[in-house]
Amino acid sequence: MARFRPEPSDDDVRDLALKRLKALLTGDPFASELGRSLLDKMGALASDEVVAQSFSDAFRAKAASTLCGHSCALARFSFWCARQGVEPLRATEEELYAYLCEMRSSKRGATSGDKFLRSLSFLEHVAGLLFMKMDEVRLLEELMCEDLQDTDACVLGQLLMCIHSAGRWRDIQGLHEVEVSVGPSTSLLIASGLKSKTTQTPEAQRRFLPYVAVATGVSGRNWGERWLEARTREGLTWGGDFCLPSFSLRLGRWSSVRMGSGEASAYLRDFLTAIGHHAASDTKSMLVYSREAYSRLYAKVVAMFRTITTGSFDPDLPPAERVEHMASTLLRNDPRPPVQSIESPPDGNASASSGESEAGELE
């Protein structure tokens, strides 16, 4: 009789897929809602059976074959990330693109890239991959201004710069200078750099791009000033290929190579762990821009234009004072002066005859 391998049961397929997914999510538990939920249960000394059942229930509605396909695709991506020193649940757009390019060059199949992206969307939907929460940002700012070593402050400050300037880690690594604009109650960090995901042409790579962050953040604590002071004491400078080198824990000093996003993510996990016992479980997620968010943003822009027109706002103020003035104006509830509309003609006939006259002249 010819040898054959018995087909695994659906339960076996499901168990193996769940093991792959659990290894991925528990490797970086702060990156997903499900990972944090499991961490909370383990912190509350829940039994292994309860933790395992909770994880299994999150995927109960999915078929075993579906879990198998997604877990295999994500496991391959996780192995690739390990070789690149990248956190799979915090991979940037460039890192995802690099992985897709490698898939294409290795000729895995015409649809393998699409399948991987669907698997990533599946994980985001089921596990709830997280954005940074506002309360966490506030606690990180407070941690920055407390008794934190200068080496850690250099890293945390750059992470906060990424958050407040909406910049990627690689972009902020390319900063060439950072200036401080101080107002009565608000400070701004105004930086310039040569790198971003849009700088593809030689001309664009020679043009400095602005990055602005509120140095007093959401906590009111001046994390920006603390960051710059720590960098000065550590002897770090701006410009060159990167502004923050990797830190060697073995040698206890900064190295000569750049700090990558993987190392920065490891630091971020440590910082989040340090503030974890302070964070509330029901904090609201930070704003993810949508059409509605942009509508509100441009409503504020129109309001700013009106204050300039009426003379109640001077755009030539120093940056920090200008931001404070705009903030106080937006917070006031007094009505804005109505926009003067163009006066319409007294009657429709006059308008029509005018149009006919103009048309006749054109002819």
> Which band of pLDDT confidence, cut at 50, 70 and 90, is reported for residue 223?
very high
| Per-residue pLDDT tens digits for 307-326 | 777 877 777 778 788 788 77
Instruction: Tell me how far apart the alpha carbons of residues 101 and 81 are, in angstroms, rounded to a whole number.
Output: 14
The H or E element containing residue 275 is helix 261-275
Mean pLDDT of 331-355: 48
Averaged pLDDT of the chain: 78
Instruction: Tell me how far apart the alpha carbons of residues 277 and 249 are, in angstroms, rounded to a whole number.
Output: 26
Give me the pLDDT at residue 16, please. 93
| Per-residue pLDDT tens digits for 99-148 | 999 999 988 887 888 999 999 988 888 887 766 777 888 899 999 998 79
| Per-residue pLDDT tens digits for 161-194 | 988 887 888 889 889 889 998 888 788 999 888 7
Q: 121: which 2 tokens?
A: 């969307």
The H or E element containing residue 212 is strand 209-214
The phi and psi torsions of 177 (rounded to 5 degrees) equal -160, 155
> Which band of pLDDT confidence, cut at 50, 70 and 90, is reported for residue 152?
very high
Give me the pLDDT at residue 205, please. 57
With b for 16 or more beta-carbon neighbours within 10 A and e for fewer, the 173-212 pattern comes to bbbeebeebbbeebbbbbbbbbbbeebeeeeeeeeebebb
Mean pLDDT of 192-204: 61
Between residues 198 and 6, which one has the greater pLDDT? Answer: 6
Residue by residue, DSSP assigns 280-315 as: -TTPPBPP---HHHHHHHHHHHHHHHHHHHTTS--T
- pTM exceeds 0.75: no
Percent of the chain with pLDDT over 70: 76
| Per-residue pLDDT tens digits for 246-292 | 999 888 999 999 998 778 877 888 888 888 644 444 333 333 333 34
Give me the pLDDT at residue 269, please. 80
Asked if the model's pLDDT at residue 337 lies above 60, the reply is no
Give me the pLDDT at residue 28, please. 82
Give me the pLDDT at residue 128, please. 75
Pairing between β-strand 209-214 and β-strand 187-193 as defined by DSSP bridges: antiparallel
Q: 169: which 2 tokens?
A: 């880690």
